[in-house]
Structure formats: structure tokens, C-alpha cells
Amino acid sequence: MIRLLPREEEFFDLFVEVAKRSHEAAGHLCELFSGEPDRVGYYVDVIKRLEHEADEITHEVVNRLDRTFITPIDREDIHLLSSHLDDVIDRIDSLARRAQIFRLGPPPEGIAKLCDVILRITAETSKAVEKLRAKKDVMQHCIEAKRLEEEGDALYHAMLGQLFDEENDPIALIKWKEIYDNLERAIDACDDVANDLESIVLKHA
């Protein structure tokens, strides 16, 4: 039969899949910076695979949006949320590749602390995305994500100051500063996702 009614595509499951991959990638990033140097290549490859899968899912979101008349939430919100979810795993992938290129030595203590924040904030955004379809209990995870962003911001500034106080090798200083900067950007990307989710929930309250 010819379809006469506008079609409604599913988007929520795709959001969940990207968010899950970001959280999984965050776990591998923690291992990359805390594990053995000869395992760095392995973690870079795993994170790259997850980032590639997330890209394919994000492309599918765009494709569905192009062919859909009726959407469960505003079209601009779908586009913005999918873009920001993709930004998170892109940031993590960029961090992993820089760690490999820079041939880093033992990390400063702040690296593990900021990686832990990324692991926890991606867990919160993933839980929030899972609950978006029902639009129930999303806000509590958004609030926690915002708290973690503030925690990460405070850690970033404190650990960056410590790095400049303690690191005497100017090349190592440049490398680790860039890692710190990108860790902070990854956390900010998660905060963007939380802001999107909060906005969507408030629109449909």
C-alpha cells in the first residue's frame, strides 16, 4: 500500500547508542592514561572504532531527519543534540590520538582526576539520554552532569597551575597542557549535551 500518512522515525534509540559509546570510550581513555605505555595503541584503536560507529549512527540521525515529516521532539533539538553527542566522542578520540602522537611519559596526577570526571559525566549524560523518551528523571542526571562540569573546571585550573609549578621540561609542559585543555573541552562537551537535554525536557513539560 502507498503510505498516505506522514511517517515518524525513531530517534531516541540512536541517541542512546551514541551516548553509550561515549561512556565506553571514556573508560578506555582512563585506561590509556593509567595503563602500560605499550597498550596505548590498543586503546587508541578501540576508541577510534567507537568514534567511527558513533559517526555512522549520527549520519543515520541526519538521514532519518531528512525523510521524516513528524518528529518526537523539535527538529532543531534533534540536530543539536545529535551534534553535541557526537562532539563528546570526537573530543575523546582526539585526546587518545594526541596521547599516542606525543609519546607521553608518566602523567601528572591531575590527568587521572580529570579522566575520572569524564567517566562520571558521560555516565550521567548516558543515563539522561536513556530516559529522554519518557522525559522522566532526566533533569536529575542533567543537574549532576552540571555539578561534574563545575568539579572538572575547578580541577582543570588547579592541576594546570600545579603543572606549571612542577614541570621543568618545556616540551613536556606544552604536551601536558594540551592534554589538560582537551580534557576540559571534553567535559564541556558533555555539559552541552546536558543543556540540550534540559532544554528539551522543559519544552515538553
Look at residues 3, 2, 6, 23 and name the one whose alpha carbon lies nearest to residue 127: 23
Predicted confidence at residue 20, as pLDDT, reads 98
Q: In which region does residue 22 sit, left (phi positive, over 0), alpha (psi from -120 to 50) or beta (all else)?
A: alpha
Q: Which CATH superfamily is domain 12-203 in?
A: Phosphate transport system protein phou homolog 2; domain 2 (1.20.58.220)
pLDDT tens per residue across span 176-198: 999 999 999 999 999 999 999 99
Predicted confidence at residue 9, as pLDDT, reads 57
CA distance 155 to 26: 17
Residues in the chain, pLDDT under 50: 1-7
Predicted confidence at residue 13, as pLDDT, reads 93
